Structure 1
Amino acid sequence: MNISDVLLTSAQAHQQFSCCLWDYNTLNVHKYYKNGGTTAPKCMEILGRDYILTSELGKPLLHLWLLNSQDVAKNVRLIIPEPANCMAVCPQNIYLAVGINCKVYVWHMSSGKLLSVQQKNYQPVMAIKFSTDGDFLLAGGQDGMLINYKLCDLVAFSSNYSSQSDIGKAEPLYIKKDHSMAIKDIHVGIFERKARFATVSTDRTCRIYNLLTGEPILNLVFGDCLTSVLFDTSFGQLYVGTESGDIRQFNLKEPPKNLTHHVDDKSSLVFAGHTGRIVSLALNTTETVLASGSLDCFVYTWDVKKRQILKKIKHPSPVTNARFVIRYKNFFAEAIKPHVIVKGLERSLDLAKDLVLSQLQTDDLEIEEDEFDLSEEQSNKDILEENVRLRAVNKQLFDTAVTLSKKMYQKLKL
């Protein structure tokens, strides 16, 4: 019996719970997380070992729970400009990215500062994911466009060389327009910059790319609209959820010779059981159990090797999220001292506020008043101006280093 992880789920009816923590071996409920409304699909995240963060369906609200508490944290009010379509937290638990309508918003969580607002998609952003090292942010839209941003560009502070209209904006690393219909899900593999990622769309294709370059590796064409995607850590097995409720498994260890491959019953395995659209797929830590959430109100756990249903978890309404979570001690602790800091989120870009200095207690300083002729106000103004100048210089140095590294990379390739 696997006790290293637990299963966290959510459903559309929130009268009983917003999220629920399960022992997926015994189907015992460890904890209900309440009073957060209906958790929107692709909007349920774990912050370190401290919090659960969700977005409420149809409302511009995020909700936060301590892992050991069933009540929403009341000391932090998280209001966003509009209801979220999807969201993701970087692996270091520093930045929060949210897809809202056609835009991607990025916040610094410990200060609540809004750092970036991007609008490259022409239709709503439907899926958003960080790479496992947190260096890249992928966004897929209803228009079929996939956009890869470098996180360092999204969170770069303003400089003397940025016009007001350019503040908070960044050019993507690349844009892919291969899908002809909406992108429904994105999965990013491990191996950081050398990772691969997969996208699925209602155009019935699953496309696999190189993360750093965007080079296409494989295009799989299925016979049904695709709604979810996942592959294991070794990039050996691919799982896609469909509109009809079937889950297709494709062996990536024996890839086809052609870039485009039409997948039939002979070249894929089927997990059959659901009667509604698959909305979520997840593998446990040992990759022996697959969890699937569906609009048929069930979460199934499957034996990966045998493709047999292990448990059926009935929900009061269609499922919106299902994911495995490491069994942290904080889930069952009486008290938690959070390491992750979360502040209220700003709703507008004002990067000038970034240059705020901590106030020192005068009791801690032994300075003679005669040593300074400048007033405190003038002194602070000079420090802020010097801070702005240094940020501008650092930005130039960073851009130069990136340019040189790209040139060196191209030479090495040749």
Structure 2
Amino acid sequence: MEDEVVIASSSIEAGIGCWDLRSGAEHLRYRSCASPSHGLVSVAGRFIASSQLRDSSSSSGSVLFWSWNKPQVEVKSFPAEAINPLACNSDGTYIVGGGVSGDIYLWEVATGRLLKKWHAHYRPVTCLVFSSDQSLLISGSEDGHVRVWSLLMIFDEERQQRAGHLYEYSFSGHTLPVTDIVTGYGGSNAIILSASQDRTCKVWSLARGTLLRNVVFPSVIEAIALDPGEHVFYAGGKDGKIYIAELNSQGTSNDNYGLHIIGTLSDQSKGICSLTFALDGFQLVVGSEDGMVRVWDTKTRNIIRVFKHAKGPVNNILVIRQPAALYPRTSANNQGPMARRHVSLPPPLEKYTSIDEHSDLSAFITPRSNVDRPSDATYSTVDSMNNQINELQQHGSTGASEMEVERLKLECKRSMQMVQQWKKMYENLHQFCVGDLLNGEADDTN
């Protein structure tokens, strides 16, 4: 079994808690954090980033970075407005933030540059999540809308003009603010689950752009988690119950719950604020309003571990593989190379874009990096490669420079080819995977 850590934060000034999932031992407590819901991310396991809650009357906000082996904040960024949710792609190349104005910001992690900003919603953004293939960004808002954004279209003005709008889909089924969003597997052919204060969870099809299922609950749903097998999903209510709902079968109505709801997990705790699965797919980690983090075994439906975070609500929960740079407080005298090593973090995120709209900037998603790479590993874009080539031409021997130039050009070409291969592969998933699932649902309905 792989070592995993549970990371939790609260909307009050309680720092960020970090525990070993298996042993329950607490690692460092990261200080000075009061995060909004969905405002905490692990950037590809390299460092922690969190947006910060500010006075609602203030137009400014901040995003903070922590390295794994130091409790103090190391990098502070001050975006143009207060940021609610944060998300990053699996490689940690980009960080995306949702503003209280409804704008979405996309930054390059390595340089801190603001690459793109666009108006996404009419009210504050509440949720942001990437699709499994990293090609789509899904956002939820207080306006009740769930919108799907293609990163290719975001950077392609020609496609934008042809489409007439930036988003791929705009789902408007919710009548109150969206509280959580999760996606299934299958990239652009996956399903999306959204929860709302209107006491419903809705299942959307990315392939069809339609609503597949609407599940009504007896309580406001603040958080959802999708079973890895995509048979059921778990919905955390403000009444303290975790409802289990069928995703594919027809389900039956009963007096206790409702259509599609097949059971609950409950220990009489206060309202549920956050949910996520451990990597094994059967341990459900739950944050609640009483400041506790509970780990449920979904097979036996028993609580197997409890962590105490703070007095305030635990509104963010992450479960990740234990980073190489993280070590317990009990090993303070550890003299290993990782314990001695200072891990450098990227620069602050820019407040305003510094990129000329007419510049020849190209961005691409690199292949998934090795999780064992050092925390301060750099990231590459096409323009940074061009800068390296220019420097080599100005300095060093001619022969060495020419060899390095050819190598960089080859790496760039291979990366672009890989992106095209991935795009083709996920387009075919509709035929081989998700299409069969949706057809099966249609047959059951008939």
* TM-score (structure 1 length as normaliser): 0.77
Unpaired segments of 5 or more residues in structure 2?
Answer: 55-59, 328-337, 361-382, 400-415, 436-446
- Residue identity opposite 1:62 in structure 2: V
Larger radius of gyration: 1
Moved over 4 A (4+): 335-338, 353-357
Amino acid at match of 2:292: F
State whether residues 291 and 322 of structure 1, in contact with CA within 8 Å, keep that contact through their aligned partners in structure 2: yes
Residues 118-148 of structure 1: per-residue CA shift (max 9 Å, x gap): 2231111111111111100011111111110
Instruction: Show the counterpart of 1:279.
Output: 273
Count, aligned residues: 358
Of 349, 353, 369 in structure 2, the residue corresponding to residue 349 of structure 1 is: 353
C-alpha distance in 2, partners of 1:257/1:306? 23
Identity of aligned residues (%): 21
Following superposition, the deviation at residue 88 of structure 1 comes to 0.5
Cα distance, 1:263 vs. partner? 4.9
Counterpart of 2:112, as a letter, is G
Please say if residues 3 and 322 of structure 2, whose CA atoms lie closer than 8 Å, have aligned partners that are also in contact.
yes
Q: Deviations over 1:90-145 (max 9, x none)?
A: 11211111111111111122222222222231111111111111100011111111
> Equivalent of 2:396, from 349, 361, 364?
364
Do structure 1's residue 27 and structure 2's residue 32 form an aligned pair? no
**RMSD over aligned Cα atoms:** 3.3
Structure 1 residues not aligned, in runs of 5+:
368-393
Corresponding position: 1:255 with 2:255: no
Distance 1:309 1:366, change over 3 A: closer
* Aligned-pair CA distance for 1:336: 5.3
Contact 1:198 1:207 in 2 (8 A): yes
**Corresponding position of 1:146:** 146
Does residue 366 of structure 2 align to residue 334 of structure 1? no
Cα distance in 2, alignment partners of residues 25 and 320 from structure 1: 22
Greater fraction of residues in strand: 1
Of 323-332 and 17-26, the range deviating more from structure 2: 17-26
Report what 2:404 is aligned to: none
Is contact 2:68-2:326 (8 Å) kept? Answer: yes
- Could you tell me which residue of structure 1 aligns to residue 204 of structure 2? 209
| CA contact 1:49–1:67 (8 Å) conserved in 2 | no
Distance 1:274 1:114 in 2: 45
How far residue 279 of structure 1 moved from its aligned partner, in angstroms, is 1.3
Tell me by how many angstroms 1:172 deviates: 0.5
One-letter amino acid of the structure 2 residue matched with residue 344 of structure 1: P
Kindly tell me: are residues 312 and 365 of structure 1, through their superposed partners in 2, closer, same or farther at Cα, counting changes over 3 Å?
closer
Look up the equivalent residue of 2:48 and give its one-letter code: I
Residue of structure 1 equivalent to 2:316: 321
- Give a deviation string over 1:212-250, Cα, whole Å, max 9, x none: 432221111111111111111210121001121111011
Q: Is contact 1:118-1:170 (8 Å) kept?
A: no
Contact 1:241 1:247 in 2 (8 A): yes
User: Any idea what SS the aligned residue of 1:322 has?
Assistant: strand
- Give 1:55's aligned residue: 51
Change (3 A) 1:77 1:140: same
Select between 190-199 and 24-33 the one with higher mean Cα deviation.
24-33
Aligned partner of 2:92 in structure 1 is 93
Change (3 A) 1:55 1:120: closer
Counterpart in 2 of 1:7?
6
